[in-house]
């Protein structure tokens, strides 16, 4: 028999039903609400005042210049270091007019096409970049012109474009007596200005030529070094521009584009005694398999010359020194790694007239630190920095004072600070007198004056607008406030700072840091789908640490882009998992031959910790989006973690690392090309796709071969997998995210997530 049912009073039944009822659903956004989110950045970006960018010092060190937000846009301001008196850095209207004329498009005075620049000469001209283009503008007559390098282009720095002549301008010796150049692929020397040429080499040929752009004279003009070059493989990527402006027929575009495994230019250093004509081919036993050699650098006494060497596969780096009298080479310093030597953080500066010492950056103890090396033996004389923190940048090495100014992150973590926050420090060569220079719990961008007397400390957090402070570089004492950001109007418009959240990673002890952006009408009684903004490239970390929340960058949306998406009924997050940079070597090494990992074990644990903290966080509906390496990670989320991630928008992804540029991929996956490339491939693993996928690519992407996206599409079709695809005609790597049809592409992304995660 069944037991008798116990009757509940009606009030108890209703209470039980209430407790069992699911959280209220998020209302579907209207077309008007989607349009408002698409335009949120444009509506909000001019609401701040006095938000400043890092400063640039004038060459004389008496004043510095910075960009800041003003009514209607951005202006450049110069401050006097002695008085802090301020004035416009230049005539913005005249500069805008000059740029409008040469760029062929309107340029507004309060929206100049650059955020930072450097002064040239005495400060009467500035140099800046817009995208891949360099520009020079004078500040006297306001004449602007593009800066086209005379040097022969190189594909990702390792394969010369032989269709472009090398710059064979005669290189004049320091004593002014002679000049060197290349004739018929061989090195010649003659009297300055012309005269009878003396042929120093005869072994050059089109397939093994002397490169005039590598000529380097010794200080006394007696010796010179030059590289003889055996060309690598000139791979070209071909792209059809289907709808070029101003014409009906398509256009074929070509780009020199070396890929992983391709043969690179092999550079052989050759030393010449100009007086005797003696030629010494430097023995390459110490640098047998070069990915690249840096240009020759003569020590001040002229007795020796040095150059940097990175081995193919990035597991070894050295500085090679060559004796000018004998041509004998030795390793002034050597660095090896079981995984990779982090190429972006290599630092070497020789000290002394004979270069007998060197300040060298190394991760040999598991953290990036500075060492003083005896270059005659290659041995470490002493450590300069030490601890469970990382040196981020060397600002200045003062040889006379034997002091170093540098930035580091993680030193203040024991006091509760975010370990990614940068601070500036000064230390002696022997490691003593380590002096903090930038107090304040935040991320500090530092600009040191040329004479190292002052520094401009521009610092902030995602919840604190920028503060610009002039400090003494000796002890960090404050001279005065330069700028103080005002976000009152932005806050009044509805902006709220994201939540900073950390949770333990896969090892159960390492903190994984991220940001959480909620809808402005967030209701904790509702349940919100979650979307992760991902960029997991091993070359850096990507969760914002400074205040500026606008714009797009290579790591994906900044905070306002995430807010625009959140306002449609999502919780949007960004996380730095293991495999990214700026933590320990072990944290970084997770990426080695393992790009498919993308920190997902840490990211998923972080999501679960956040869901345990916030019941509105619907961990059953998680989407993801990212661009470039973030696009690859987005696809891999659906291939390898499709039980967790349900929907993804992948922009311009390097989905198969064998299809991408040589430099980035050999750094993290090594050389020769092996199974690790296939393991991370979205093409080889396409049949594993789960969930909803939207691929977006620019037809003219010059950063990642757009054929990579089409190969994924081909593999998905063969695997009978459904997906969405948008090809932007004429679109570059930005895919409409910073140029071109930004509103259209953004709307398509937003609508995709509304449809796939909200079912509306």
Residue 10's pLDDT band (cuts 50, 70, 90)? very low
CB 630 within 8 A of CB 682: no
pLDDT of residue 3: 33
Rounded to whole angstroms, how far apart are CA atoms 146 and 131? Answer: 12
Query: pLDDT tier at 556 (50, 70, 90 boundaries)?
Result: very low
Domain boundary among 462, 486, 510: 486
Residue 100 is given by DSSP the state: H
Verify that 685 and 745 share a domain, yes or no: yes
pLDDT of residue 760: 78
Rounded percentage of the chain residues whose pLDDT exceeds 70:
95
As a whole number, the mean pLDDT across the chain is 94
Q: Is the pLDDT of residue 19 over 80?
A: no
Residues 541, 476 share a domain: no
Considering the domain architecture, whether residues 596 and 735 belong to the same structural domain is answered as yes
Which residues is 618 bridged to in the sheet?
529
In a domain? residue 611 = yes
Shared domain for 469 and 513, answered yes or no, is no
In the block, tokens 């993804």 appear at 648
Residue 290, pLDDT score: 97
Asked, for residue 76, whether it belongs to a domain, the answer is yes
Would strands 209-210 and 198-199 be described as parallel, antiparallel, or unpaired?
unpaired
Residue 41, both tokens? 């950045």
Q: How many CA atoms lie within 13 A of 645 on its CB side?
A: 30
Is 317 inside a domain boundary?
no
> Which residues are bridge partners to 270 per DSSP?
226, 281
- HSE-CB at 472 with a 13 A cutoff on CA atoms is 6
Give whole-number Cα distances, 225 to 210, 281, 322, 380, 385, in Å.
Answer: 11, 10, 10, 28, 35
40 shares its domain with 62: no
Q: Which residues contact 97 (CB under 8 A, 6 or more apart)?
A: 107, 142
What CATH number is attached to the domain comprising 549? 3.40.50.1820
3-state secondary structure of 491: helix
pTM score, whole prediction:
0.94
With pLDDT > 90 as the criterion, what percentage of the chain qualifies? Answer: 91
Question: How many CB atoms sit inside 10 A of residue 172's CB?
Answer: 15
Confidence of residue 557 (pLDDT cuts 50, 70, 90): low
CA distance 735 to 697: 6
Whether 679 and 717 share a structural domain: yes
* pLDDT tens digits along 587-620: 999 999 999 999 999 999 999 999 999 999 999 9
Residue 556 backbone class (left: φ over 0; alpha: ψ -120 to 50; beta: rest): left
- Average pLDDT of the residues in 446-451: 98
| Domain end among 419, 454, 486 | 486
Last residue of a domain, one of 455, 486, 517: 486
Residue 597, helix vs strand vs coil: coil
List C-alpha distances in Å: 631 to 371, 375, 623, 728.
38, 43, 13, 16
Residue 482 and residue 499 share a domain: no
Quote the longest CA-to-CA distance of the chain: 119
Residue 16 lies in a domain: no
CA 597/CA 599 separation, integer angstroms: 5
Helices 742-757 and 31-38 meet at what angle, rounded to 10? 130
Q: How many domains does the chain have?
A: 3
Q: Who's near 708: CB < 8 A, 6+ residues apart?
A: 653, 654, 655, 656, 659, 660
482 against 553, higher pLDDT = 482
In a domain, 367, yes or no: no
133/581 Cα distance (integer angstroms): 28
Q: Which domain, by its residues, includes 745?
A: 22-46+495-757
Helix (H, G, I), strand (E, B) or coil at 502: strand
**Which of 576, 546, 544 is closest to 562 using CA atoms?**
544
Dihedral in degrees, nearest 10, Cα atoms 447, 449, 454, 459:
-10
Cβ neighbours of 133 (radius 10 Å): 12
Cβ neighbors of 339 (< 8 A, separation 6 or more) are 315, 589, 592, 593
Neighbours of 42 (CB within 10 A): 12
**Residue 635: closest CA among 562, 704, 567:** 704
Look at residue 80 and tell me if it is in a domain. yes
Nearest to 632 by CA among 703, 730, 571, 736: 703
Alpha helices in 597-701 (DSSP H): 600-613, 629-640, 662-669, 675-679
For the stretch 165-195, pLDDT in tens is: 999 999 999 999 999 999 999 999 999 988 8
Local structure of 600: helix, strand or coil: helix
Q: Is the pLDDT of residue 9 over 60?
A: no
List the single range of 16-25, 344-353, 410-419, 543-552 with lowest mean pLDDT: 16-25
Q: Are residues 423 and 541 in the same domain?
A: no
Q: Is residue 181 within 8 Å of residue 192, measured between CB atoms?
A: no
Q: Which residues pair with 361 in a beta bridge?
A: 370
**pLDDT at residue number 8:** 31
Distance CA 189, CA 174 (A): 14
Two structure tokens written together for 500: 């900073």
Do 641 and 658 share a structural domain?
yes
Q: Are residues 675 and 606 in the same domain?
A: yes
Residue 637 lies in a domain: yes
Question: Residue 300, SS3?
Answer: coil
The answer for residues whose C-beta is within 8 angstroms of residue 111's C-beta and 6 or more apart is: 73, 74
Is residue 389 located within the same domain as residue 435? yes
pLDDT at position 627 is: 94
Q: Which of 94-103, 387-396, 741-750 has the lowest mean pLDDT?
A: 741-750
In a domain, 95, yes or no: yes
73 and 30: one domain?
A: no
**Contact (CB, 8 A) for 644 and 664:** no
The residue to which tokens 């919840």 are assigned: 463
Residue 575 neighbours by CB distance under 10 Å: 28
Alpha-carbon gap, residue 736 to 350, rounded angstroms: 44
Q: Specify the CATH number for the domain of residue 456.
A: 2.120.10.30
Confidence band, pLDDT 50/70/90 cuts, at residue 735: confident
Average pLDDT over residues 23-37: 88
Which among 575, 574, 554 is positioned nearest to 563, based on CA atoms?
574
Phi, psi of 746 (to 5 degrees): -65, -45
DSSP state, residue 152 = P
User: Edge-to-edge strands of the sheet including 571-576?
Assistant: 499-504, 511-517, 571-576, 528-533, 617-627, 645-651, 692-698, 724-728
| pLDDT over 60 (residue 115) | yes
Whether the CB-CB separation of 282 and 322 falls below 8 Å is answered with yes
Confidence of residue 5 (pLDDT cuts 50, 70, 90): very low
**Does the structure show a pLDDT above 50 at 141?**
yes
Is the per-residue pLDDT at 325 higher than 70? yes
């Amino acid at each position: 028999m069944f037991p008798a049912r116990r009757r509940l009073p009606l009030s108890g039944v209703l209470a039980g039903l209430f407790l069992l009822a699911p959280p209220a659903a998020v209302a579907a956004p209207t077309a008007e609400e989607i349009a408002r989110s698409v335009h949120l950045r444009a509506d909000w970006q001019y609401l701040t005042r006095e938000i400043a960018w890092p400063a640039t010092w004038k060459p004389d060190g008496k004043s510095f210049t910075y960009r800041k937000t003003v009514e209607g846009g951005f202006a450049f301001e110069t401050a006097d270091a002695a008085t802090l008196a301020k004035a416009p850095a230049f005539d913005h209207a005249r500069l805008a007019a000059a740029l409008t004329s040469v760029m062929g498009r309107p340029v507004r005075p309060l929206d100049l096409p650059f955020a930072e620049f450097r002064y040239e000469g005495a400060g009467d001209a500035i140099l800046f970049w817009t995208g891949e283009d360099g520009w020079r503008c004078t500040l006297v007559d306001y004449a602007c012109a593009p800066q086209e390098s005379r040097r022969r282009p190189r594909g990702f720095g390792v394969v010369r474009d032989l269709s472009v002549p090398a710059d064979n301008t005669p290189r004049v010796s320091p004593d002014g007596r002679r000049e060197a150049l290349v004739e018929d692929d061989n090195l010649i020397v003659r009297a300055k200005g012309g005269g009878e040429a003396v042929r120093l080499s005869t072994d050059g040929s089109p397939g093994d030529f002397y490169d005039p752009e590598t000529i380097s004279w010794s200080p006394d003009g007696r010796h010179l070094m030059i590289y003889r070059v055996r060309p690598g493989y000139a791979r070209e990527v071909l792209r059809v521009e289907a709808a070029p402006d101003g014409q009906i027929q398509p256009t074929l575009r070509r780009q020199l584009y070396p890929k992983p495994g391709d043969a690179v230019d092999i550079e052989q250093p050759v030393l010449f005694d100009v007086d005797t004509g003696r030629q010494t081919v430097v023995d390459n036993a110490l640098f047998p398999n070069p990915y690249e050699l840096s240009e020759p650098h003569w020590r001040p006494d002229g007795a020796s010359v040095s150059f940097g060497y990175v081995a193919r596969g990035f597991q070894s780096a050295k500085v090679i020194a060559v004796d000018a009298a004998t041509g004998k080479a030795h390793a002034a310093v050597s660095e090896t790694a079981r995984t990779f030597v982090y190429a972006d953080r290599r630092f070497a500066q020789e000290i002394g007239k004979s270069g007998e010492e060197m300040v060298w950056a190394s991760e040999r103890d598991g953290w990036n630190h500075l060492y003083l090396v005896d270059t005659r033996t290659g041995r470490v004389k002493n450590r300069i920095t030490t601890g469970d923190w990382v040196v981020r940048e060397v600002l200045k090495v003062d040889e006379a004072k034997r002091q170093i100014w540098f930035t580091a992150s993680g030193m203040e973590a024991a006091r509760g600070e975010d370990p990614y926050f940068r601070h500036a420090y000064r230390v002696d060569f022997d490691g003593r007198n380590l002096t903090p220079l930038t107090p304040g719990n935040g991320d500090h961008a530092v600009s040191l004056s040329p004479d190292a007397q002052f520094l401009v400390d521009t610092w902030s957090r995602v919840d604190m607008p920028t503060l610009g402070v002039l400090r003494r570089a000796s002890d960090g004492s404050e001279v005065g406030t330069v700028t103080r950001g005002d976000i009152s109007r932005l806050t009044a418009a509805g902006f709220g700072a994201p939540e900073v959240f950390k949770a333990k990673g896969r090892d159960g002890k390492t903190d994984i840091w991220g940001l959480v952006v909620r809808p402005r009408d967030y209701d904790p009684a509702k349940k919100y789908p979650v979307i992760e903004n991902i960029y997991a490239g091993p070359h850096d970390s990507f969760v914002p640490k400074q205040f500026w929340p606008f714009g797009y960058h290579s790591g994906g949306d900044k905070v306002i882009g995430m807010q625009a998406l959140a306002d449609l009924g999502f919780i949007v997050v960004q996380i730095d998992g293991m495999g990214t940079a700026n933590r320990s070597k072990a944290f970084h090494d997770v990426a080695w031959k393992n790009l498919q990992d993308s920190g997902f074990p840490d990211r998923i644990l972080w999501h679960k910790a956040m869901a345990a903290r916030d019941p509105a966080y619907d961990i059953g509906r998680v989407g993801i989006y990212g661009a470039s390496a973030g696009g690859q990670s987005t696809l891999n989320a659906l291939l390898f973690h499709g039980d967790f991630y349900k929907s993804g928008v992948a922009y311009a992804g390097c989905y198969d690392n064998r299809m991408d540029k040589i430099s980035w991929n050999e750094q993290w996956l090594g050389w020769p090309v092996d199974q690790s490339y296939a393991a991370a491939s979205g093409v080889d693993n396409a049949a594993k796709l789960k969930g909803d996928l939207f691929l977006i690519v620019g037809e003219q992407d010059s950063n990642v071969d757009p054929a990579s996206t089409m190969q994924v599409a081909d593999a998905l079709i063969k695997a009978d997998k459904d997906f969405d695809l948008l090809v932007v005609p004429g679109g570059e790597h930005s895919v409409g995210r910073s140029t071109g049809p930004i509103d259209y592409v953004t709307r398509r992304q937003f609508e995709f997530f509304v449809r796939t995660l909200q079912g509306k």
